[in-house]
Amino acid sequence: MNHSTSEKGEEDVSETSSTLDGVKVKEEFSRLSEVLQETNRNLSIFEFLLSNRINVPVDSNYVKSILTTVKESNDNDETNKLNLELENMKSKLRIEKIRYRTETSMIKKSLEIERKSRLGLEKQLTNAHTRHKEYETELGDLRTGLEALKSQLETREETARSLLSKDIDELEASLHAHRLKNSETLDKHERLKSKSKELLKRLKRERILSKSKDRRIVVMRSAFERLKCLSKAMEADYRYILLHLGGQIDLVARLLNAYYDGSEKCLQKSSNDEDFIEWFARIQASALWAQKQIVSSGIKNWTGKEDCVKESTHISLSHEENEEDFRTPKNVVFDAVKQVSKDYPDKLNNLFAQVETDDVVE
């Protein structure tokens, strides 16, 4: 096969060289024919000029002989020129042949390279054919596998459709139930909205009422604060009055005692350590003694002496009998003591603490 391809390449080269030579020869012949045509034209022009200049009739044979001689002379010159040109052409053809030989050798080398590449390509083609056959077998296997997969897909699609239909039915049922629940919840929501609106209205009313009550409470608190201040002032006044009256009673009793020269030692002396009960008992005792003395002095002035003594003894005895059953409640004593003013000495505060622990003052 390689030999046939080389022979074909040589034949192609020879054919190309022969065709090139024939083309060049044809070109030379065409050029020569053009030269002959030009000479014929020149001769016809010369004949025309001769006929116009010379009025004497000219023999045609004579003219033809002249023309033939001219033509022969011209032909000899042309042949010489043509020979020279042919020699030049031959030299050029030799040069061209040498060039074509070199080109043919180069073409042969390129042909050998192409043969080698063609062999490689043929090997690649054989490998490709084998691979193509393998791919075709693999494709057949794949087609069988695809058909099996298609059958499996169809069965799975049928099962999936059945499952989907079941799931859709279940979902529709659940959706219907959810819609019912949603409608119920919406109704409940509307009810709750109405109730919440009512409750908000009530709450606003209650807030308004509570604000008014708070205002009233504030007013009442301010009034109570004023009452407290007034009560404190009144208690202070009462304390001051109690202190003052107690002091006056004690003073009157002591003056009466001094008036009677201190013959009766029934008055007790005040001390800083005495408690409220002792103080109140002392003031009460001094008040009773002063009453007795005033009564006895009145009797002395208006009646006799004996009656005065009897009356005084009767009053003292009745007083002693009444003292046994006399008990003052704690709240009365405590209320009385509370009226003492703040300017009273600190011993009254100790008396108040002792009174709060006792229920009854004897």
Residue owning tokens 């004690």: 250
Query: Tokens for 220?
Result: 């009442």
Q: Indicate if the pLDDT at residue 338 is higher than 60.
A: no
Task: Check residue 70 and give its pLDDT.
Answer: 47
Where on the phi/psi map is residue 46: left (φ > 0), alpha (ψ -120 to 50), or beta? alpha
Task: Check residue 351 and give its pLDDT.
Answer: 46
Task: Check residue 217 and give its pLDDT.
Answer: 93
Task: Check residue 329 and give its pLDDT.
Answer: 47
Beta bridge partners of 269: none
Higher pLDDT, 95 or 314: 95
Which of 31-40, 60-69, 286-295, 343-352 is predicted least confidently? 343-352
Percent of the chain with pLDDT over 90: 7
Cβ atoms 238, 339 nearer than 8 A: yes
DSSP state of 60: H
Dist. CA 342–CA 334, nearest whole Å: 15
pLDDT digit string, tens, across residues 163-178: 888 889 888 988 888 8
Beta bridge partners of 361: 328
Dist. CA 354–CA 362, nearest whole Å: 13
DSSP strand E in 181-284: where?
none
Dist. CA 140–CA 154, nearest whole Å: 21
Higher pLDDT, 102 or 90: 102
Task: Check residue 105 and give its pLDDT.
Answer: 82
Q: How far is CA 188 from the centre of its chain?
A: 34
Dist. CA 234–CA 224, nearest whole Å: 14
Which of 125-139, 276-290, 333-347 is predicted least confidently? 333-347
Task: Tell me how many degrees the CA angle 188-189-195 measures, rounded to the nearest 5.
Answer: 90
Cβ atoms 315, 292 nearer than 8 A: yes
pTM, 2 dp: 0.29
Residues 6+ apart with CB under 8 A from 337: 239, 242, 276, 280, 348, 351, 352, 355
- pLDDT band, residue 269 (cuts 50/70/90): low
